[in-house]
Amino acid sequence: MSFPDVRLRRLRQSPAVRGLVRETSLEPRQLVLPLFVREGLTEAVPIGSMPGVAQHSLDSLRAAAAEAAEAGVGGVMLFGVPAVRDARGSGADDPQGILNVATEALAAEVGDALVVQTDLCLDEFTDHGHCGVLAADGSVDNDATLERYASMALSQVRAGSQLLGLSGMMDGQVAVIREALDSEGFTDTLLLAYAAKYASAFYGPFREAVDSQLTGDRRTYQLDPGNRREGVREAVVDEQEGADIVMVKPAMAFLDVLREVRDTVHIPVWAYQVSGEYAMIEAASANGWINRRASILESLLSIRRAGADVVLTYWATEAARWLRG
């Protein structure tokens, strides 16, 4: 068949036809809002590198979570910024630590309306800024870190977290945390494994958001951006270890990895549209170079089209409102 028998434009002739044949959809329930809570704040403080995003006080955090729930967002992912840090990240598993206190507040505020989720990693709590504890030679000690993660998992679940975001990229983290939870009877806690988490320059603004203490990089545990197969392998291992959901992060610079992971595992696949992706679109639209709302929605759609069932995005509440009309 050739022209004029093949008329591909037939499918694009009107908004109604286009709506009928659109392959990928975006719904509020498929969005998760990351939130930052900082110990000692009495009101929200804007994050300079992420216009429109703030470090929250406990009160402003509750309000932001309530707005997200009201907009129909599927979940919130909570990050804590402690006032004091030490080598082993003691604030992370302290029931009075900021992340656990805030989790309790959110579970009470919105725990029935959406899924309350917590970041499980040591980087915000250590004085050296690494995602784990250090060995005598200064390297990140995988197995010693797993013990800290297991303890952190129990504190977070006791505080009311329904889903743990395992973002530290330590080997065996899913299996060890699953076993720790099972042995205490917490058999219903969802584990989201940041399976394919790359050592990315696009995390830049986030480091300001959590007041990161890191000097150097995370290349001995996060993935090399050149590697797709290795990202897929991480997801396969995490599925075998008992993860309920796997994550690809960042999203837009790794859409090929996302597609391959989606085609390989049999559990939900999520993607994290990270701070640098957010900052790029905000900066370009602030300059009037791109249409803000259209580019935000297109960016989210591209991540869904590549295979993400759910997207973590700092625009979750705003986008959910647009989608509801």
Residues that are catalytic: 197, 249
- Select the residue interacting with ligand PBG from 100, 161, 275, 313 (CB under 6 A): 275
Asked whether position 203 contacts ligand PBG by CB under 6 A, the answer is yes
> For residue 88, which phi and psi values (nearest 5 degrees)?
-100, 0
Compare residues 274 and 323 and give the one whose CB is closer to ligand PBG.
274
Compare residues 4 and 226 and give the one whose CB is closer to ligand PBG.
226
**Sign of the CA dihedral running 170, 81, 104, 34:** negative
Which tokens hold the place of 4?
Answer: 């004029």
Nearest residue to 33 via CA among 80, 76, 78: 76
Nearest residue to 163 via CA among 194, 189, 185: 189
- Select the residue interacting with ligand PBG from 93, 104, 123, 239 (CB under 6 A): 123
Closest-CB residue for ligand PBG? Answer: 206
Would you list which residues are annotated within the binding site? Answer: 207, 218, 234, 275, 314
The piece of 40-48, 54-62, 115-123, 141-149 that touches ligand PBG (CB under 6 A) is 115-123
The piece of 19-27, 36-44, 203-211, 233-241 that touches ligand PBG (CB under 6 A) is 203-211
Compare residues 207 and 228 and give the one whose CB is closer to ligand PBG.
207
Compare residues 92 and 121 and give the one whose CB is closer to ligand PBG.
121
The piece of 21-29, 84-92, 183-191, 202-210 that touches ligand PBG (CB under 6 A) is 202-210
**Closest CB 17 distance from ligand PBG, rounded Å:** 38
Query: What gap in Å lies between CA 165 and CA 77, rounded to an integer?
Result: 8
Contacts (CB under 6 A) with ligand PBG, residues 156-185: 167
Compare residues 42 and 202 and give the one whose CB is closer to ligand PBG.
202
**Closest CB 121 distance from ligand PBG, rounded Å:** 4
Which tokens hold the place of 310?
Answer: 């759910």
- Select the residue interacting with ligand PBG from 274, 303, 310, 323 (CB under 6 A): 274
Asked whether position 218 contacts ligand PBG by CB under 6 A, the answer is yes
Total residues contacting ligand PBG (rule CB under 6 A)? 11
Query: What gap in Å lies between CA 308 and CA 297, rounded to an integer?
Result: 14
4 contact partners, CB below 8 Å, separation of at least 6: none
**Residue 316 corresponds to which amino acid?**
A
**Closest CB 88 distance from ligand PBG, rounded Å:** 16
Asked whether position 121 contacts ligand PBG by CB under 6 A, the answer is yes
The piece of 17-25, 39-47, 64-72, 117-125 that touches ligand PBG (CB under 6 A) is 117-125
Binding positions for ligand PBG, rule: CB under 6 A:
119, 121, 123, 131, 167, 203, 206-207, 218, 274-275
